[in-house]
Structure 1
Amino acid sequence: MKSDMADELDRKLIQALQLDGRAPFSRIAEVLGVSDQTIARRYRRLRSSDILRIVGVPPVGYVAHGRWLLRLRCAPGGARNVAAALARRPDTTWVQLVSGGTEILCVVRARSEYESEELLLDRFPRGARIVAIAAQSILHTYYGSPLIIRSMDALTADEAERLRPAPVPEEVDEILDLDPGDQRLMEVLARDGRAGLAELASATGWSQSTVGRRLEHLRATGLLRYYAEFELPYVGLHTAARLWITVPPAELVATGQALAEHREVVFAAATTGSTNLAVQVVCRNSRDLYRYLTERVAALPAITHVETSPIVQNIKRVGALLTQP
């Protein structure tokens, strides 16, 4: 059963795994001053309750044949069925119900040039009650997973520094050297980023030593990132929203970089479309969201338009289809 709120050690463990999703429990335990068994027990409880999941994914800047934000507006009562159908697709992530539950947002990563061209727009369930669709190409990411959610502030600066892994390349535009074994490896890690070497060896047909070397290579070259997915309300973050922002093209980079520095921001990217910045923020409550909009966003002089869409429910994250809507 899920607890209502994380205690200090749970918060520290979650933040530690945001920094390094495959960090040995012994290293986390040493930094936090508890036993290995305590950390392992805490992780198993959070994992079995589906509060926390570690996934191994390509970097957020990996575009393959295109990354798209789809916004679908549905007739009343129609959004949940469409969202569920989108969530079952292997090429979608972050399927969310927003704006009172009548709008769906999802990220699509096209796996082929054909998918990129058709944008999946004509492959919805028969009878889907969609009244409007907008597709915005993600041009550049200023901040995004698997970077840390900074609103937690659980670890001290010293603890965070001791747990932080070696730096990896920030941007990787294409994955060119993934053979079938690499792809099978990534498929397992997308479900469980802490899968053991034995399980990964079974999936790839490699020896455990080969798996270990390949994991290190993929991570060192920036082709594999580990991301901690967790329930935001469990750590006291109860309000999330998407912001659709417009700035003049000459101010796009400066504004995107400024937004990326905000601790409330978990995703910020330049996009095509009627707005040119897509942002997701998380806050403790609606009052904090109000303060963020009226103080921090309002202080950015180049912004000419902001549309705010509250996130009602996450249907799918990067690594897992969540409870059916």
Structure 2
Amino acid sequence: MSTESSAATTLTTADLTLVRALQREPRATWTRVGAVVGTDATTAARRWERLHKAGLAWLTAYVTPPTWTVGYVDLACTPDRLLAVGEEVCRWPPVFSVERTTSDHQLFLGIAARCYHAMDTLVTKRLGVIPGVRSVRMAVATHIHREGGGWTVGPDQHEPSRTSLPLPQFWQDGSVRTIVDALGTDGRLSSAELARRCGVGESVVRRVLARLLRNGELAFRCDLAHVAAGWPVIAGYRLDVPADVLDRVAAAVAALPETRLSAAVVGRGNLVVSTWLRNPADTTGYEARLLRTAPGVRVLDRAVTLTMPKRMGRLLDQAGRAVGYQQILPAGGHPVPGG
């Protein structure tokens, strides 16, 4: 489909209501979802199938970020190699998100690793040696106060941040990883379908999911095409916040309805922020409110995202529609799905 026709596609109010319901209860039965959105189960399922097939909305499962070492990498590239570098890193499983921005470091990456050593190897021996990369800037997340899976459509547009436990031995079971991998592609797969695809009994699927969810090791994320949904502008900020108020400021920024990411980091600045906005002019108002959260906060870098070809494992077209999925594989570890 052409960029023009993709960009022209919009999500209706009914579509957004359905997405919001699935953001709150990603694996609720269609009967329950239909009751919430004011329709019957068949209509709700059919509407979701249309959105999913069109790449306008999708639901995935992923290991919650605190179980990884999460990093944010800025790459400065020569102009003639910028597109090629972006396409290259989109193919790398440890790189879960890729944005091309207006910053002097044009590419902004989200990366996952099992440990600092694996992250160092990824950055220095792989990213740093790609032809055309002039500079690499790295920050390691210490606490994620909000990420995209905690953002919902609606007046409040945010949910409490998710937390999780370190991966236990349970994850060494091959059937566990297989089930989670399948849910990464489509988080709405039924237990029966998961059992069929993974070659295990349905009781095994139910036991695995119950344990993962009970222990907070797995999250489900309902996402949508930001352009079609009416939030075409993605703006990112690097902030320097006084250490004694960092947690308070990060939480306050996370509570702003437009905020999709609020992550305390060690690197250039100590807070990384990403937001969805209605139009470019909204960046000024958002930044003003952001700075009012704490006097003394300094903006070290601000940028608008020109295109986002990858978001939490989903490959996107220029209109932000899902056109593919790549399982996230943290550097130095076993495969886990993304969102």
> Is it true that 1:242 corresponds to 2:236 in the alignment?
yes
> Is it true that 1:315 corresponds to 2:302 in the alignment?
no
Aligned partner of 2:211 in structure 1 is 217
For 2:299 and 2:38, the matched residues in 1 are separated by 48
What is the CA deviation profile of residues 59-101 of structure 1, one whole-angstrom value per residue up to 9, with x for unaligned ones?
A: 13222xx211111011113222111111111111111111169
> Is it true that 1:109 corresponds to 2:112 in the alignment?
yes
User: Which of 12, 21, 24 is 2:17 aligned to?
Assistant: 12
By how many angstroms is 1:238 displaced? 1.6
> Is it true that 1:287 corresponds to 2:289 in the alignment?
no
Matches within 5 A, 1:132-147: 132-147=135-150
Aligned partner of 1:57 in structure 2 is 62
Aligned partner of 2:225 in structure 1 is 231
Q: Residue 234 of structure 1 aligns to a residue in which SS?
A: coil
User: Which of 261, 267, 270 is 1:267 aligned to?
Assistant: 261
**Which consecutive residues of structure 1, in runs of 5 or more, have no partner in the other structure?**
none
For 1:107 and 1:313, the matched residues in 2 are separated by 15
By how many angstroms is 1:173 displaced? 4.1
For 2:273 and 2:240, the matched residues in 1 are separated by 11
What is the identity, as a one-letter code, of the residue corresponding to 1:309?
A
Aligned partner of 2:166 in structure 1 is 174
Q: Residue 44 of structure 2 aligns to a residue in which SS?
A: helix
TM-score normalised by length of structure 1: 0.88
* Structure-2 change in CA distance of 1:142 and 1:289 (3 Å): same
Aligned partner of 1:276 in structure 2 is 270
For 2:192 and 2:150, the matched residues in 1 are separated by 28
> Is it true that 1:207 corresponds to 2:201 in the alignment?
yes
Size of the aligned set, in residue pairs, is 312
* Structure-2 change in CA distance of 1:25 and 1:247 (3 Å): same
TM-score normalised by length of structure 2: 0.84
User: Which of 151, 155, 161 is 1:153 aligned to?
Assistant: 155
Contact kept, 8 Å, 2:308 with 2:318, in 1: the verdict is: no
> Is it true that 1:80 corresponds to 2:83 in the alignment?
yes
What is the identity, as a one-letter code, of the residue corresponding to 1:70?
V
For 2:273 and 2:61, the matched residues in 1 are separated by 23
* Structure-2 change in CA distance of 1:324 and 1:283 (3 Å): closer
For 1:112 and 1:102, the matched residues in 2 are separated by 25
What is the CA deviation profile of residues 147-183 of structure 1, one whole-angstrom value per residue up to 9, with x for unaligned ones?
A: 1235x4399xxxx9xxx9xx9x942241112121111
For 2:139 and 2:226, the matched residues in 1 are separated by 26
* Structure-2 change in CA distance of 1:244 and 1:124 (3 Å): closer
> Is it true that 1:26 corresponds to 2:63 in the alignment?
no
What is the aligned-residue RMSD (CA, Å)? 2.6
Contact kept, 8 Å, 1:55 with 1:319, in 2: the verdict is: no
